[in-house]
Amino acid sequence: MQGKKADYMSRFVLVNGCESLRDNPCLAKNTQMSSKPSECGEVLTANASYQTLEDIVGEKGTSSPKDEYKTCTYWIQARMGSKIEVTLDYFSDGVRDYGCNLAGVEIKTASNKRRTGYRFCSTPKTRKRLISTHNIVPIITYSRTSPVKTVLRYRIAPDVATPSSLIEKPEPHLFANLDMCASR
């Protein structure tokens, strides 16, 4: 068992040229949440009123799943001390599968943005409100099939009783070395 475990771990020693998964400046880039790609995505600012994000991602004319994903990355941000409320209103039919492997939307409302967020690949039967733990929420839409549409609403979450000193601030070191990763 020890040999299999060592072999498994050795596959993760070099990730985009970085030497370790711990303190890995490339990890954020590998999870596609580091910054908006040049082709798709933007930084959005939440306020007290609902705003709508509509996104279409995928490759037209695709009849079978591709190896690579088309992605769009959005950052919803609000003033320090705020939390953000996100509600998924619509996701295209026909791509629902276990783990949302073909296409989906990932909403990262937890405090650790390097971890996988909530993934959806169909419209929920009951609208669930997701409330972030702080004032930045990355949204990643992805597809390796034909184009899929995502529609969600977002705003600053009402009734925030948490003092701003307890709200986690973004960790700038997670994104400081992304240029290094992009060049590898």
Residue 172 has pLDDT above 90, yes or no: no
pTM equals: 0.66
pLDDT digits (tens, 9 = 90+) for 130-166: 999 999 999 999 999 999 999 999 999 997 544 333 3
Domains detected in the chain: 1-30 (no CATH), 32-157 (2.60.120.290)
In the sheet that 129-131 helps form, which strands lie side by side, from edge to edge?
Answer: 51-57, 148-156, 84-91, 129-131
pLDDT digits (tens, 9 = 90+) for 74-123: 999 999 999 999 999 999 988 888 889 999 999 999 988 888 899 999 88
**Could you please report the per-residue DSSP string of the chain?**
-HHHHHHHHHTTS-BTTBS-STT-TTHHHHTT-SS--SSS--EEE--SS-EEEEEEES-TT--S--SSPEEEEEEEE--TT--EEEEEEEE-SS---GGG-SEEEEE--SS-TTS--EEESS--SSPPEEE-SSSEEEEEEEESSS-EEEEEEEEEPSS--S-GGGSPPP-GGGTTTHHHHHT-
